[in-house]
A and B are shown apart, each in its own frame.
Chain A
Amino acid sequence: MNGYGYRLGAIGIVTTFFIIIFSTVLMPMVIFKPKTTTSANDYTVENKTGDPIRGRRIYIREGCFYCHTQFTRLQDREYGPLVKAGDFNYETPHQLGTERTGPDLTNEGNKYSAEWQKAHLIQPRALKPGSIMPSFSYLSEHDMNDLVVYLQTLGNKREVKAYVQPPDEYLPTTLTGQELLKNKHVNTSGDAEANAGRGIYTQDCAGCHGLDGRGNGPNSISLTKKPSNFTRPFFKQYSDEMWFYRISEGVVGTRMPRWNLTLSEEQRWYLVAYLKTLQKDVEETVDDLSQVNKPEQIKLPKLSNQQYEPHHGGH
């Protein structure tokens, strides 16, 4: 073995080591400068209220980023718009996070009311049964308010351009979607069609979603994940295809079944026509047990054994 050969290799590799540090640490600082987007929140400059900046420091102090991430990915459908590189320009230290024990907070702002957020910080399990988030009841009133203000700024500047979309196979962009539309003979905006859909709704959906679509059917009491309230203005943005997809494939993780196993395509389109009529400008909330639709007592006539089994015997 000759040492000289090693020495040459060693010099080569130490040089490479520094080139690597240069190219993966220093070079990105110089050439990767994303342009700040309009959706970025500036947490570096103290503004007059000063609250969210202090709230962000409390977010860091309490180590929220160990369980909550702050970047949405393509597959995170329920966490709102995707992030762009420029959104993070004011985020020092970054709060991207690396592990999610709880939900992503990228677009948490205004998802819930400030009162809800505060109550949730004080006792998470009161609002989200089964949650394992620690209680932050030890935070002072001042700290807690600032933290909530910070949470409400998350993603507040991200404009929603694309709304909830069904999977591609329900859209006219694919062959299956075109086939689906070709077979659709129901005018989903018509009154007669909506009326036809109401019959199907009363029979199949009202048990959970309630007679007036407020999610207050008799079954709703026993369900952990409550049925949707169709009076929410949110549902106004649902396209016909989105309604059709939801009815057809159900909702994973809830008791909402796949109605494509039971209802024909035509029946489902009628149902879409009816569901589109239920939205109100302000959500009608159900906050009292007395408001839950109670099943009507069914009065059956008293039947004798003979009446009950009319074909019994030797007729």
Chain B
Amino acid sequence: MSNLLDKFLSREEGSASRNFLLSAVWWSLWGMGAGLFAAMEFSNPDLVHNIPQFSMPHLRMWHVNAVAIGWLSMGYVSSIFYMVPNLCKTKLYSERLGNFTMWAWNLVMVAAMGTLLNGNTEGREYAELGAILDVLVVIALCSVTFNIVMTVAHRKVQKLYVSLWYFLGSLFWFPLVYIIGQRTFVALPGLNDAIVGWFYGHNILGMWFTTVGVGMMYYLIPRFTQAPLYSHGLSMLGFWGIALFYAPTGTHHITQSPVPEWLKAIAIISSIFLLVPVLTVLTNFFMTMKGKWQMVVTDLPLRFAATSCIFYLITCTQGPFQATRWVNWYLHFTQWVVGHAHLALLGTFSFILTSAIYYMLPRLTGREWQSQGLIRAHYWLKFLGFGLMMTSLTIAGLVQSAGWAMGIPVDQWVITLVPYWFLRSISGVMIVTGQCLFAYNIYQTLFGAASAPESPPKGKLKEVAA
């Protein structure tokens, strides 16, 4: 019995982080694959027939949930479980609780796949999961928060590095945002439902993906470049700026609907103010990178991280610009916005998570990456694939914008979008291939014949002093 317990709820150091990491990569294949499948149905709507599970809207629900809650969030928890004990120079408070959370989270994902593909949804964008799954997610999030708070409470260093601020902040407010945003057990009238819905829809990005992602950048970039962080003062300004300005921005998603004008005004103003923390954070990274940019040629994880920072700059200059009334008047309802969302989640946060995985896995398992060539291939497939996706979605969005603005009936310009749907499918193939190579590389590293199980990490992948 205790053997079985040790196997499934292991107490081994780093096991929770490693298991979360592997689960994240596993779900990324499903999530990105579903995205590719849905993209192919855009260019060939009769690709599958009479199979409700493969209908485009069902695939879209599963795609969003699999990449957001499966790939990104599980990867984030893995990074938090690895980085927080390292920053506190202590062990994770409870590996067993961590592993329990991992199983609960995977259960949520399996159930989500079963329900969403069959259309069992609450019908709220980004909050599709059913009531039981919502409760499970909250339990999982709270146990992660408890685990991390207890780890920090037992820390061996007095000072809290800025990444810890970001992680603790995110783990404090994300369960809150999730509980408010799900609206599982309340029935608000239409527009109030939309207001709360977009508070959640935007803050799952702003108060979870952004804040944990930026925390990871703060952890990784000084380590990759072996340079001290440029300014701790700026990092604090950036943290509190995000905490202050992100929360009320949600209503900018519905600026043209009949919700109160004062709410729209607050949302738009704080969206523009978001430039302050974003530029603060990026100044800090770019000044830390100063004089070290040549390192991206040889250091592949750093290359992922630096790319992520540059995408972050682009996405966060796009954001406030799109939130302003006139630009929103023109660009809303189009694929431009879909491109923007992918720029944030795929371009920025998926890249920084990939960078973190390349950094963490050798340190968690003591095995070196099997193939540097596969890492290179992964980078270029993902980078070029994403560039193609962004370009095609942006152009498609501009065509659609012109159509809506001029009041031309949809059936007249829908055929002009065919080349862009096709290009997006190609980009999807590239990204999914990259991710498969990534998964293959991980598999070979962990279980491949050539990987020596006992060999200690060598070369530049030095173990961080525990």
CB–CB A29/B188 < 8 A: yes
B265: min CB distance to chain A, Å: 11
A81: min CB distance to chain B, Å: 13
Residues from chain A with Cβ under 8 Å of B333 in the complex: 69, 98-100
CB–CB B42/A138 < 8 A: no
- Partner of B60 from the list A66, A125, A133 (CB cut-off 8 Å) is A66
Residue total for A at the interface (Cβ-Cβ under 8 A): 72
Residues from chain A with Cβ under 8 Å of B232 in the complex: 1
CB–CB B337/A99 < 8 A: yes
The A68-121 residues at the B interface (CB cut-off 8 A) are 69, 71, 73-78, 83-85, 87-96, 98-103
Residues from chain A with Cβ under 8 Å of B173 in the complex: 17
Residue total for B at the interface (Cβ-Cβ under 8 A): 77
CB–CB B240/A9 < 8 A: yes
Answer whether residue B222 sits at the interface, using C-beta atoms and an 8 A cutoff. no
CB–CB B45/A133 < 8 A: yes
A-B contact count (CB 8 A): 200
B424: min CB distance to chain A, Å: 12
Q: Mark A126-156, 1 if CB is under 8 A from B, else 0.
A: 0011111111111000000000000000000
- Partner of B334 from the list A6, A23, A89, A99 (CB cut-off 8 Å) is A99
Complex CA gap A33/B337 in Å reads 30
Complex CA gap A154/B258 in Å reads 17
The B315-359 residues at the A interface (CB cut-off 8 A) are 329, 333-335, 337-338
Q: Mark B110-141, 1 if CB is under 8 A from A, else 0.
A: 00000000011111110000000000000000
The answer to whether residues A102 and B410 also contact, given A62-B119, A69-B333, A93-B183 and a CB cut-off of 8 A, is yes
CB–CB B61/A85 < 8 A: no
B399: min CB distance to chain A, Å: 12
CB–CB B191/A88 < 8 A: yes
Residues from chain B with Cβ under 8 Å of A160 in the complex: none
Residues from chain A with Cβ under 8 Å of B259 in the complex: 28, 32, 85
Give the one of A67, A78, A134 with max B CB within 10 A: A134
Residue of B nearest to A58 (CB): B119
CB–CB A94/B194 < 8 A: yes
Answer whether residue B52 sits at the interface, using C-beta atoms and an 8 A cutoff. yes
CB–CB A93/B193 < 8 A: yes
Which residues of A does B touch, CB under 8 Å?
1, 6, 9-10, 13-14, 16-17, 20-21, 23-25, 28-29, 32-34, 44, 60-67, 69, 71, 73-78, 83-85, 87-96, 98-103, 124-125, 128-138, 224-225, 252-254
Interchain Cβ contacts under 8 Å between A and B, 14 examples? A14-B243, A17-B243, A20-B244, A20-B247, A24-B195, A34-B191, A61-B119, A66-B57, A78-B407, A83-B257, A93-B193, A132-B414, A135-B50, A225-B409
Complex CA gap A83/B404 in Å reads 17
Complex CA gap A92/B48 in Å reads 31
Answer whether residue B226 sits at the interface, using C-beta atoms and an 8 A cutoff. no
Residues from chain B with Cβ under 8 Å of A61 in the complex: 119-121, 123
Complex CA gap A308/B365 in Å reads 94
The B223-277 residues at the A interface (CB cut-off 8 A) are 232, 236, 240, 243-244, 247-248, 250-251, 253-254, 256-260, 263, 266-267
Residue of A nearest to B172 (CB): A14
CB–CB B257/A96 < 8 A: yes
Residue of A nearest to B421 (CB): A132
Given contacts A100-B400, A103-B410, A135-B49, 14 further A-B contacts (CB under 8 A): A1-B232, A32-B259, A63-B60, A71-B256, A91-B193, A92-B189, A96-B190, A102-B410, A124-B45, A134-B55, A138-B52, A252-B407, A253-B409, A253-B413
Residue of B nearest to A16 (CB): B244
Answer whether residue B46 sits at the interface, using C-beta atoms and an 8 A cutoff. yes
CB–CB B240/A62 < 8 A: no
Residue of B nearest to A73 (CB): B256
CB–CB A10/B240 < 8 A: yes
CB–CB B45/A135 < 8 A: yes
Complex CA gap A130/B188 in Å reads 38
The answer to whether residues A77 and B407 also contact, given A64-B57, A133-B45 and a CB cut-off of 8 A, is yes
CB–CB B197/A63 < 8 A: no
Residues from chain A with Cβ under 8 Å of B400 in the complex: 100
Residues from chain B with Cβ under 8 Å of A91 in the complex: 189-190, 193
The answer to whether residues A98 and B253 also contact, given A17-B243, A24-B199, A93-B122 and a CB cut-off of 8 A, is yes
CB–CB B49/A99 < 8 A: no
Complex CA gap A33/B51 in Å reads 42
Residues from chain B with Cβ under 8 Å of A14 in the complex: 243
The answer to whether residues A25 and B404 also contact, given A60-B123, A132-B45, A135-B46 and a CB cut-off of 8 A, is no
